[in-house]
Structure 1
Amino acid sequence: MKPELNVALVGYGFVGKIFHAPLIQATPGLRLHTVVSGDSGKVLADHAQVRVVAEAQAAFADPAIDLVVIAAPNAVHAPLALAALAQGKHVVVDKPFTLDLAQAREVIAAAARADRIVSVFQNRRWDADFLTLRSLLDAGTLGEVSECHSHFDRNRPQVADRWRENDQPGSGLWYDLGPHLLDQAVQLFGMPDALFADIGRQRQAAQADDYFNVLLRYPRLRVMLHGGSLVPAHGLRFAVHGSGGSYLKHGMDAQESALRLGRLPGEPGWGEDPRPGELHIAGRDGLAVGSVDGIAGNYLRYYQDMHAAITQGQPPPVTAQQALQVMALLDNARESAAQRREIDCVDP
């Protein structure tokens, strides 16, 4: 396998421009070779050396391309992934992987037939706050965890005219943020026994869901996932309570803001959390309160691990089974919200 892999990025909207293109460029062994976009001027203003094509099939048919990254609207994730795999390309799909579990199975089966790797971009496994929480749980600092509250809230009372907020397949806050929170929960605690979901529209002009509150039920543990669009004080990220204490974290991971500003991984201070968490340790004399400096986040790990998977045969950063688990839970939550009842969860 050649040491440098040529990458075709499909889509140059917010996700393609802010997340994928800079991370691909910053990963040793990856080269952003082609971008599929109808706005060549926008792409070339940022990446003068790349080839820009208007149609995805032109990139898929190019024998120089090794890896295709799909950052197009959610509704076309599955057909684009299938088309790329049919041309023998490895594939990364931005979350959500597909629109439903059936589509996910179809894509994974196609990857197996083509003997190619397919993975979903779950960059928030490398958020500073998540890495810090995981280290606390691994060390047993919080004891047996009874509750985990995971929030991704915003205050956006005005409905934007963009596909994510229009009434179309794959739109809405649950498809946008649910995959992140579900993936993190499964990484920490495994598949739940059941879930109950409340997914709805709160803003008057909303065309797609802009609110969710999802309860994941384990034998003793309860995990609450929450996303809202009308939350003025939207600082809470994690509140985790266990027999040994609590971990509270406010503020979002800083990497997205840094990428928006044009900064790149590897710069001094990259991924450092500017707002330490709070650790409340239970003792005979009450709670001892201290701060927890966050482990530095590093979104680059996803593409480094993807390069290693293709060139060295290592497991991909997000496996097919992990992609199926999140898709099953996304489907379970939609079913629960529609039927207003708890749904049993089965590991796919």
Structure 2
Amino acid sequence: MNGIRVGLIGYGHAGAIFHAPLIAAEPRLRLAAVVTSRTEQLAAAFPNVRAVASVEEMLGDPAIELVVVASPNTSHVPFARAALLAGKHVVVDKPFTPTLTEADALVMLAEERGRLLSVFHNRRWDDGFLTVQQLLERNALGRLAHYEAHFDRFRPAIKQGWREEERRGSGLLYDLGPHLVDQSLVLFGLPRAVTADIARQRPDARVDDCFHLVLDYGNLRAVLHAANLVYRPGPAFTLHGDGGSFVKHGLDPQEAALKEGRRPGQPGWGVAAAEPGILWLADGSERVVETVPGRYEAYYAGIAASLRDSAPPPVTAHEARNVMLVLDAAIRSAAERRTVAVI
């Protein structure tokens, strides 16, 4: 029962499906307490974890070293700030903050307090992204000219809940945009500029449900797209370079597996049933590219290593801040109908 004691704020979709199981899967972490009113649901899944009535009660527990903020987006900033002021290390679910200014303030506070601050950009460990990353590291496509990543789904009806309500940090750009932007920044760094189109396509939508971002990397363009009215999705990744092209269909299976109650370490974890990617080379040959298994468990393994072994965090606060920088530029680009410089 030894290990880094973790307090989790929120036991909705993010807390129950992602954070709690992945924290529990890391042997150096111990999920000790959860702030939630869903006490029966928590007890059924984690009978040895204490349900706590308030954030203040959790932050007052000196045994809690790490606080994970998995509450609605509007509360990310106040809860993360309170945890840092209480001397805790902090993980925040994406999106980091509703605004770039708030992200900068939290980064500065964490540095002042000497605490770890990280954001749960788990889709760095998606199977398709890991496969793309491996291909680029091998220079399999030569000089890259076009990178396109899609996160499309079919949700014609408006779902109940805060994500589809007019609140700070709601909407598809804040929901899926952080994933796609973070992946692009991991591969290519900050873009020179962003051109964005953000829309409401469903008749009853109260927040954006479609976005199309074009990131300017000089000779390279990165296109990031997500929409809720896509019944037959195309490729999740499409890459073109002077050495060939690569196309990969299918979404990573780990979220679905977590919803079904499966856990990291079990047979078949992270292995996709979807078709493999195809690489077409400029010499006319064609090659099947087997998908690299996904591994969401790597995030909390990295957090534990950072706290105990002084390893670099799996996602730094500055990296998370830069995601917000690009999203801020995208929002201004769409509102003003122009390209907005980033660097």
TM range (shorter): over 0.9
The answer to whether the Cα contact below 8 Å between 1:119 and 1:316 also exists between their aligned partners in 2 is yes
Instruction: State whether residues 60 and 84 of structure 1, in contact with CA within 8 Å, keep that contact through their aligned partners in structure 2.
Output: yes
Alignment-derived partner of residue 290 in structure 1? 287
Report if the CA contact (8 A) 1:68-1:84 is conserved. yes
- The residue matched to 1:143 in structure 2 has which SS? coil
SS in 2 for 1:38: coil
Alpha-carbon shift at residue 235 of structure 1 (Å)? 4.4
Give 1:90's aligned residue.
89
CA distance in 1, matches of 2:110, 2:94: 17
Q: Matches of 2:36 and 2:106 in 1, distance apart?
A: 23
| 1:260 and 2:259 aligned | yes
Q: Which runs of 5+ in 1 are unaligned?
A: none
In structure 2, give the amino acid aligned to 1:246.
S
How far apart are the structure 1 equivalents of 2:243 and 2:56? 55
The answer (yes or no) to whether the contact 1:273–1:293 under 8 Å persists in 2 is no
Q: CA RMSD in A?
A: 1.1
Q: Which residue of 2 aligns with 1:131?
A: 130
Query: Which residue number in structure 2 is paired with residue 207 of structure 1?
Result: 206
SS in 1 for 2:41: helix
Aligned partner of 1:42: which letter? Q
What is the correspondence of 1:185-264 to structure 2 with a 5 Å cutoff? 185-264=184-263
2:30 aligned partner: 31
Q: Moved runs in structure 1, 4+ residues, more than 2 A?
A: none
**Contact preservation (8 Å) 1:235, 1:252:** no
1:338 pairs with 2:330 = no
Counterpart contact for 1:129–1:273, Cα < 8 Å: no
Task: Name structure 2 gaps, 5 residues minimum.
Answer: none
Partners of 1:114 and 1:345 lie apart in 2 by 29
CA distance in 2: counterparts of 1:236 and 1:165, whole angstroms: 26
- 1-structure distance, mates of 2:2, 2:310: 13
Question: Which residue of 2 is the match for residue 163 of structure 1?
Answer: 162
Q: Partners of 1:114 and 1:43 in 2: how far apart? A: 32
Tell me the matched-pair count.
342
Distance in 2 between the 1:77 and 1:48 partners? 27
Shift of 1:146: 0.4
Query: Is 1:314 aligned to residue 311 of structure 2?
Result: yes
- Is contact 2:2–2:30 with CA below 8 Å preserved after alignment? no
In 1: Cα distance, 2:53 partner to 2:329 partner: 36
Give the whole-Å Cα distance in 1 for the aligned partners of 2:297 and 2:217: 32
2:169 and 2:61 mapped to 1: Cα distance? 29
**1:339, CA displacement in angstroms?**
0.4
Number of the residue aligned with 2:279: 279
State, as a whole percentage, how many aligned pairs show the same letter. 49
Contact 1:10/1:36 (<8 A) preserved: yes
